[in-house]
Amino acid sequence: MKKTILFFAIPAVIACIITACGQKSNTPSDAAGTAKEPVGDTTHKYTLAMVANKKDPSCGMPLTAGLEDTTQYKGQAYGFCSKECKNEFLKNPDGYIAKMK
């Protein structure tokens, strides 16, 4: 009985190992293969309805023309027409938020 179980179990384990080795992980890793946290927000896609503003706080462009980048500040998501506008906002977020009101 023990020989029969081993006869069927060993090939199944080997098959699992072979198929798992060929799969790539979605988690970034360093050179040693240690999992690292993803850099940046790569999993969330924001829509206009999900951000606190309807105009880019840096340049004033309506975001209906295109939401290219986002950031979170004090629990709110803010949208921007470009990465450059987001970087400008991050220099003085409180000042830009005050201008939006």
**Is the pLDDT assigned to residue 29 strictly greater than 60?**
no
pLDDT band at residue 27 under the 50/70/90 scheme: very low
In whole angstroms, give the CA distance from residue 72 to residue 78.
Answer: 6
Q: Would you say 57 and 89 are in contact if contact means Cβ atoms under 8 Å apart?
A: yes
Residues 59-71 pLDDT 10s: 999 999 999 999 9
Q: Which two tokens stand for residue 30?
A: 């360093």
**Single-letter residue type at 25:** S
**Is the pLDDT assigned to residue 25 strictly greater than 60?**
no
**DSSP tag of 33:** -
Q: Which two tokens stand for residue 95?
A: 């000042």
Residues 77-88 pLDDT 10s: 999 999 999 999
What are the extents of the domains in the chain?
45-101
Residues, the chain, total? 101
Name 79's bridge partners: 70
